[in-house]
Amino acid sequence: MSGQSQITRALFDEVMVPNYAPAGIIPVKGEGSRVWDQQGREYVDFAGGIAVSSLGHCHPALVNAIKQQADKLWHLSNVMTNEPALRLAKKLVDNTFADKVYFANSGAEANEAAFKLARRWALDKFGAHKDQIISFGKSFHGRTFFTVTVGGQAAYSDGFGPKPGAVLHAEFNNLDSVKALISDNTCAVVLEPIQGEGGIIPATAEFLQGVRELCNKHNALLVLDEVQTGVGRTGKLYAYMHYGVTPDILTTAKSLGGGFPIGAMLTTTEIASHLKVGTHGSTYGGNPLACAVAEAVLDTVNQPEVMAKVLENEQLFRQQLDAINQKYQVFSEVRGKGMLLGAVLNEKYKGRSRDFFLAAAEHGVMALVAGPDVVRFAPSLVITPADIREGMQRFEQAVKQVVSA
């Protein structure tokens, strides 16, 4: 088989496992917040590869980082360490609450490490009875069997046999529901500062502070899953910084690599000491290529002017969505922070987020859904105002199409 003309969407159905149902278009090129498909059709990217492409497509700093590292060193395994991994870890430690970093390939793996560490910490310090993990309904923490069980969406974990035990689910933003479950048998409470897949639902300050206090009271760890909210997405390096709440363990991925697979778990020296040599590992974790790219992402994103721009862009998005809504009355509210926003469909259009997502693609804009009732936007953190306006003009045409159908 040769030539691009041979590579069609039909080939997916022929050779790929059918757990995905990708769109008919096949993108082949991206630059900034624009993407082009095989036919040369242009799209404005408001999806960011599901909150991954934090600096858009082919950002010069990232292209330069990977080209330079590609000529130096690709892989070693964790029998040895490497300079990019150590530089990146130092920068993460210097800019967060954490003292120690563990690298993985994805958010799911970072969460797997976090949950295993919480269990091991509790076992070492308190004994085998302290094994319960409290999570929340509608939460999402990855697709390994442990992380999908901790996640609060049974549809993702049902049908694979017996689930890992001692995982309980409270109601997000309901502190009383946590009080009803937490005890001295709880080793960790796990939550996303803004629930992503669950519908872009931010934790309230009172809730997050209350959970922190409950964890302190019961000697449980607070684990914040910042896979989707981290690395500038909310206008701070990590979303916990908005709340005045410090976690014990934090997980990060997605935006950290700007499109190159990497994940990390951050924690304190004392808690980290319980992952002794041999207790956990990852073949590709700390890979020099991944860490070199992630360092370039962090250096680019972690600037006051970039963070300020994220919040300015949020206001522009909200203004544009409000103007569309005044015309077509489809949204009940816009939730989220920074460049992680969810337009919640009102009663009339409930359950139809996919219709808006598909219409958006037809009109040349890539959006996302967050469940059946929310259209999600997670674009580049450095998207230009011109691209936001152009994308929103196209999105308005998509809304008009759905409303008129």
Catalytic annotation, residues: 140, 225, 254
Query: Does residue 101 sit in helix, strand or coil?
Result: strand
Q: Any residues with CB less than 8 A from the CB of 73 and at least 6 apart, and which?
A: 82, 288
Binding residue per annotation — 192?
Answer: no
Look at residues 225, 231, 287, 239 and name the one whose alpha carbon lies nearest to residue 255.
231
The H or E element spanning position 394 is helix 385-404
Binding residue per annotation — 283?
Answer: yes
Binding residue per annotation — 282?
Answer: yes
Binding residue per annotation — 107?
Answer: yes
Distance separating alpha carbons of residues 17 and 120, to the nearest angstrom: 35
The residue ranges of DSSP E strands in 221-290, in sequence order, are 221-225, 249-252, 263-267
- Contact indicator for 359, 402 with CB cutoff of 8 Å: yes
Binding residue per annotation — 226?
Answer: yes
Q: Please report where in the chains the tokens 């872009």 appear, as a residue.
A: 200
Cα–Cα distances (Å) from 47 to 25, 35, 116, 306, in that order, read 15, 11, 31, 19
Query: Does residue 341 sit in helix, strand or coil?
Result: strand
- Contact indicator for 320, 389 with CB cutoff of 8 Å: yes
Binding residue per annotation — 244?
Answer: no
Binding residue per annotation — 332?
Answer: no
Compute CA 244 distance to the chain's CA centroid, rounded to the nearest angstrom.
21
123, two tokens: 């076992």
Could you tell me which residues are annotated as the binding site for pyridoxal 5'-phosphate? Answer: 107-108, 140, 225-228, 283
Which residues carry a binding-site annotation? 107-108, 140, 143, 225-228, 282-283
| Residues that constitute the known binding site for N(2)-acetyl-L-ornithine | 143, 282
